[in-house]
A and B are shown apart, each in its own frame.
Chain A
Amino acid sequence: DAGVTQSPTHLIKTRGQHVTLRCSPISGHKSVSWYQQVLGQGPQFIFQYYEKEERGRGNFPDRFSARQFPNYSSELNVNALLLGDSALYLCASSLGQGREAFFGQGTRLTVV
């Protein structure tokens, strides 16, 4: 059974550009969350979606947005990229609250 898949694995963007990151959850999982992990830090919560509805939002600027599709896959969008947006972006899926969150391998975003 496939795990959480994220694409692309690596990405280099220029300041001011826009980026879209994609995530496919484990089959049957309806909850998808996004986390940002800056080098040397723990993951920081960005968004959580359950059944296509936003259920939580972390302390990130409005440049960050996300959505979940009918097949439960998800996109994270970041506008007007800053150098500080360089990080590993992790997607996690789960069956529901209190259940194990399974993480993908992440997308390494570098903003130059």
Chain B
Amino acid sequence: AQSVTQLDSQVPVFEEAPVELRCNYSSSVSVYLFWYVQYPNQGLQLLLKYLSGSTLVKGINGFEAEFNKSQTSFHLRKPSVHISDTAEYFCAVSDRRAGSYQLTFGKGTKLSVIP
């Protein structure tokens, strides 16, 4: 079974400051890793994904994440946030076994950017 822990339920940060949203996962098999963003009353939009290769992954809107296999972490970072980044962010995993597509999500981290 897989599980995802997002260590912070809420993160307030001032505009133009850096931010890190933390994600740890637990799985008995190799996984794919994803970060999604959800704006109020909307569906989920993919920010970035790790499938294989370089452990530093760059996504949209200036976000990046680093896969650390030894620490089973996939933390999301942005060097300078904007007001428009205020949203809820979800970390998700799916395993690599053939035929398995299910995404397991964390509980989410609400990012509030303060002007």
- The residues of A with any CB-CB pair to B shorter than 8 Å are 4, 31, 33, 35, 40-45, 48, 50, 55-56, 58, 90, 92, 94, 96-98, 100-106, 108
Tell me the chain B residues, 20-49 only, with Cβ under 8 Å from chain A.
32, 34, 36, 41-46, 49
B105 at the interface (CB under 8 A from A): yes
CA distance A110 to B39 in the complex (A): 20
Top 8 closest A-B pairs, CB basis? A42-B105, A103-B43, A103-B44, A105-B43, A45-B102, A56-B102, A42-B107, A48-B101
Residue of A nearest to B48 (CB): A100
Cβ of A33: which chain B residues have Cβ within 8 Å of it?
A: 101-103
Q: Is the CB of B103 within 8 A of A45?
A: yes
Cβ of B43: which chain A residues have Cβ within 8 Å of it?
A: 4, 90, 103-106
- The residues of B with any CB-CB pair to A shorter than 8 Å are 4, 32, 34, 36, 41-46, 49, 51, 90, 92, 94, 96, 98-108
Contact of A50 with B101 at beta-carbon distance under 8 Å, contacts A41-B108, A103-B45, A106-B43 already known: yes
Contact of A97 with B90 at beta-carbon distance under 8 Å, contacts A42-B108, A104-B43 already known: no
CA distance A108 to B34 in the complex (A): 24
Q: Is the CB of B105 within 8 A of A43?
A: yes
CA distance A108 to B43 in the complex (A): 11
Contact of A101 with B107 at beta-carbon distance under 8 Å, contacts A43-B44, A90-B43, A90-B44 already known: no
Give the shortest distance, in Å, between B92 (CB) and chain A (any CB): 8
Contact of A56 with B100 at beta-carbon distance under 8 Å, contacts A42-B108, A100-B49 already known: yes
CA distance A105 to B43 in the complex (A): 4
Contact of A100 with B100 at beta-carbon distance under 8 Å, contacts A41-B107, A42-B105, A42-B108 already known: no
Q: Is the CB of A97 within 8 A of B99?
A: yes
Give the shortest distance, in Å, between B61 (CB) and chain A (any CB): 16
Most chain B beta carbons < 10 A, residue from A50, A97, A102, A108? A97
